[in-house]
Amino acid sequence: MFEMAKQPPPEGYLFSKAYTHYVFLLLWLLYFFDYIDRMVVVSLFPFLKADWGLTDAQCGAMVSAVYWAIILFSFPISILIDRWSRKKSIGIMAVLWSMATAACAFTRNFGQLFAARAAIGIGEAGYAPGGTAMISALFPEKRRAFMVGI
């Protein structure tokens, strides 16, 4: 049988360029949806105010819940990512924040929605550090800044 000779990855790359760019695209899409997920609730404020009688302060708290969770959990989750697995951590965080987003649809009051929004923040807390570290590891030094900047 014939076997194709396995070519080594290009200089500076851990894997083939195609695989590296595929991983980058997946990380970019996750980051894109990460930001959409953080702010999508803002479009619902008029409906939440009308249906639940929420105040502007409560609506603002729902946005802040995500960011406060990110602030509180980014550092400890980043340490966990560095000591464990970037790939697995990013996957788990994406599942967690997706489940928290889905849970938002089933909330019946401000407290439940606030808790679900905080869970979104916990899920998103380590994504940026983990994704940035993964991109830095995948690309050669001369391409890192550009790829992280995208």
Are the beta carbons of 107 and 47 closer than 8 angstroms?
A: no
pLDDT surpassing 90 at residue 127: no
Q: Name which of 126, 140, 131, 43 is nearest 78 in CA terms.
A: 126
For residue 149, the model assigns a pLDDT of 85
Q: Residue 44 gets which letter from DSSP?
A: G
Q: Write down the residue that tokens 């959409």 correspond to.
A: 36
Read off the pLDDT of residues 38-73 as tens digits, 9 standing for 90 and up.
Answer: 899 999 999 999 999 999 999 999 999 999 999 999
- 98 by Cβ neighbours in 10 Å (0-12 / 13-18 / 19+) ranks as middle
* pLDDT value, residue 9: 66
**Structural domain boundaries of the chain?**
31-149
Q: Domain 31-149 belongs to what architecture? A: Up-down Bundle (1.20)
